[in-house]
Amino acid sequence: MSSVASRLRAAGCVFAEEEAGMILDAAARTGEPGDGMVERRCAGEPLEHVVGWAAFGGLRIAVGPGVFVPRRRTEFLLEQALRVGRDAGVVVDLCCGAGPLVTALAVRLPRAELHAADIDPAQTAYARRNLALFADRASVHEGDLYDALPSALRGRVELLVANAPYVPRDALATLPAEARDHEPVRSLDGGSDGLSVQRRVARGASEWLAPGAHLLVETSARQAPLTRGAFAGAGFDAWVVECEEREASVVVARRRGGV
């Protein structure tokens, strides 16, 4: 293990010993040559892609090359969704990626009907894999935002989460190389000001949400007032919640009507 850690440290991996243990464990589990996995990591591939999983909400979420890696800050979105939607019967995760949010919600909401959607087939394949244990009440759909959802969900969704891309296009080049070079650009690119996808989520939400239902999106602290404004402009009561420790910002929107 010490030689693996030394190679990783020389390549700039700050937590070399921890990463070495994870890589060796993954090699033993999968039968993939450990040396090749170390080479991939030293070349800059995300550790999560190399070992095949990412930690999220106390779970191991399967991920792989070409898939967006869930961030720790997004656990704040999960927490806020559970705070306002603990009793939700129908849950939707738009821009689901590999499905970390919807999988964590499936574990915590054992009676909910869940739907996840993403435009990227490589990511929906992982979402189906992560939701396999919940196939009796969780479905994954492929398509562009609400176009992917079954029409029978219109007006029935009680909790909707969307970790939609929100990086301004001009800022993509400033992202860490692991994200810039190895994650799908559609999971990152939020258009000229970072809000283009969020605005589309806001504009289409009323048709799908039940009265009084909640919709939550992750954003940045700088963009949060604009994101909140987009949902307020679409007819929602909307507010911002933040977690300084995780540098996380979430806009919570509530459809008017209901109790």
**What is the mean pLDDT, run by run of 10 residues, along the chain of 259 residues?**
85 88 90 90 95 97 96 97 97 98 98 98 98 98 98 98 96 93 94 96 97 97 96 97 96 84
pLDDT of residue 2: 72
pLDDT of residue 172: 94
C-alpha 122/C-alpha 86 separation (Å) is: 30
- What is the pTM (predicted TM-score) of this model? 0.94
pLDDT of residue 15: 87
pLDDT of residue 207: 96
* Parallel/antiparallel/unpaired status of strands 59-62 and 53-56: antiparallel
pLDDT of residue 1: 59
